[in-house]
Amino acid sequence: MNGYGERADASAGATGGPPLASALTEATDLALLRAHVAGDRDAFTELFQRHRDRLWAVALRTMGDREEAADALQDAMLSAHRAASRFRGDSAVTTWLHRIVVNACLDRIRRRQAHRTVPLPDGSRTDSGPSTGGVEPAAPAHDHDTVLVVRDALAALPVEQRAALVLVDVQGYPVAEVARMLGVAEGTVKSRCARGRARLAVLLGHLRPTVAAPAERRPVATGDVPAVTSGNPRPPEGVGSGSGRSRRDANQEDT
């Protein structure tokens, strides 16, 4: 039996042929992790390639900078590679990997807080290095300052609140899954998100557009006819008041 729970195919030979490659791609995440622990040199690479895009997205949105995210992801994968034998199996392998990536990002955030810098927009880099994930579009020029202000506000949050907000509000992971990623209770995730949103509301309150009070409605005059306000209604033409009729009757008697 090989490390994937299948009988080894002798025709594949010692160098590993198509049957072994097929076993890698068809193996479960847990089988790949166990094969890696057993000494398979290709198993962990297959596991990483399978989940690379989502892990990269978490690192990028948590760090807010492509270089920092790439370094954090590399640190995380080295940690996972070394700690695979300690995986207890009490959660999914993907949840375990996400937890390691988030922790690596948080470690970097804590280390750079004393010397915080403003990152460039994600899509503005023109270096031709190897791509780790999809291309992130740059913010439009008129939104550039707002993007930097929002990123700076996120960086000002306590790291635990920032991680919870990125995973729940930005990445859209369910609270229960985020709780497993961070190794905390669901109520803790909700509390961190609530406190983080409250802090952001204060930090970013100046970005809210101000709504002017509605102007007082004024009557509009048309031509030479005076405007009539709602508080001084004009009586219908041809219909006079009772006092008016009395005055006309009195005039007629005088004549």
Q: Measure the CA–CA gap between 109 and 162, rounded to whole angstroms.
A: 10
CB–CB of 120/63 below 8 Å?
A: no
DSSP designation for 225: B
pLDDT at 128: 42
Assess whether pLDDT exceeds 50 at residue 132: no
Q: Which residue has the tokens 């097929």?
A: 22
41-71 residue pLDDT tens: 999 999 999 999 989 988 988 887 889 999 9
Q: Which of 145-154, 169-178, 193-202, 215-224 is predicted with the least confidence, judged by mean pLDDT?
A: 215-224
Q: Which amino acid is at 91?
A: S
134-155 residue pLDDT tens: 444 444 444 556 777 777 788 7
The model's pTM: 0.59
CB–CB of 154/78 below 8 Å?
A: no
* Mean pLDDT (whole number) for 195-200: 93
Q: Which residue has the tokens 């961190």?
A: 192
Q: For residue 232, what pLDDT band results from cuts at 50, 70 and 90?
A: low
Helix (H, G, I), strand (E, B) or coil at 222: strand
Residues 6+ apart with CB under 8 A from 116: 152, 155
Query: What are 106's two structure tokens?
Result: 């948080």
* Mean pLDDT (whole number) for 81-93: 91
Assess whether pLDDT exceeds 50 at residue 133: no
Q: Measure the CA–CA gap between 33 and 242, rounded to whole angstroms.
A: 99
Assess whether pLDDT exceeds 90 at residue 188: yes
CB–CB of 46/24 below 8 Å?
A: yes
**Which of 61, 60, 77 is closest to 69 using CA atoms?**
60
Q: Which CATH number fits domain 143-208: 1.25.40.10, 2.60.40.10, 3.30.465.10, 1.10.10.10?
A: 1.10.10.10
Q: Measure the CA–CA gap between 239 and 218, rounded to whole angstroms.
A: 27
Assess whether pLDDT exceeds 50 at residue 125: no
